[in-house]
Amino acid sequence: AEIAIVPDAVAGGAVAARDIAAIVTRNPEAVLGLATGSTPLTTWDALAAMREEGLDLSRTTGFALDEYVGIAPGHPESYRCVIDREVVDRLGMDRARVHVPLEAGQDPTTAGAAYERAILAAGGVDVQVLGIGRNGHVGFNEPGSSLASLTRIKTLHPHTREDNARFFGGSIDDVPVHCVTQGLGTILRARRLVLLAWGEAKAEALAGAVEGPVSAVLPGSIIQLHPSVLVVADEAAASRLT
């Protein structure tokens, strides 16, 4: 992987945004793989600033990594709403072309296969943005997920629910238990991966992903199987890299 070590998340967001913008400039109909959580926010900020300078994302397509199961439609922390608010509106994407793996009213047991078909029909993902969990998860592929997995229902690890309780008023009981997530095999099909990590809490997971054994024990290690990866980390997240 190509590794950019930056002073902070703002600088890192600018590096990631430049990478994505170059792809969109070459192909205005590029297919973008979108992550949620806090990590990509500075990337969206930087892309929003580039939009003001003329970057046109209106013809791109988007596929989110994951969505909670059983969250009320329109809940502000559903990834549908998060993606609409943080990405579609701010970057001027076309909402009809931005997808999450489980839409309101869809059956979660068949949504995964439908999502895979939709990604293929769109021509595949050109660039997939990824955060990483403290336990090394990417998407919601928790440790133990098959390296070949495709989009499907998964159970969130209690640690992940704890980490995400901050988005649900601090209460772990309000965090959904299940999700539909792109699989590790789905993520590997993207033509480029941009993995972002900020802060000391991610240092161990990032070192394992970049330098450790490729293993389902640390799902982020799949980046080592991919020929085109950009890792952007701040100094704290990069502190365990050797």
- Strand duo 178-181 + 152-155: pairing: antiparallel
Which of 87, 95, 179, 80 is closest to 139 using CA atoms?
179
Amino acid in position 237: A
Residue 154 parent element (H or E): strand 152-155
Which of 191, 167, 162, 189 is closest to 177 using CA atoms?
162
Q: Which stretch binds ligand F6R (CB under 6 A): 31-39, 51-59, 68-76, 119-127?
A: 31-39
User: Using the rule CB under 6 A, is 38 a contact of ligand F6R?
Assistant: yes
- Per-residue string for binding with ligand F6R, 104-143, x by CB under 6 A? ---------------------------xxx---xxxx---
Q: Which stretch binds ligand F6R (CB under 6 A): 36-44, 46-54, 91-99, 145-153?
A: 36-44
Q: Which stretch binds ligand F6R (CB under 6 A): 2-10, 37-45, 52-60, 90-98?
A: 37-45
The separation between CA 235 and the C-alpha centre of its own chain, rounded to angstroms, equals 21
Nearer to ligand F6R, 21 or 197 (CB): 197
Alpha helices in the chain (DSSP H): 9-26, 41-52, 79-83, 89-91, 108-121, 158-164, 184-189, 203-211
User: Using the rule CB under 6 A, is 66 a contact of ligand F6R?
Assistant: yes
Among 15, 16, 31, 35, binds ligand F6R (CB under 6 A): 35
Using Cβ positions, the residue closest to ligand F6R within the complex turns out to be 131
- Least Å distance, CB 159 to ligand F6R, is 10
Q: Could you identify the residue written with the tokens 């997939």?
A: 128
| Residues of this chain that bind ligand F6R (CB under 6 A) | 35-39, 65-66, 131-133, 137-140
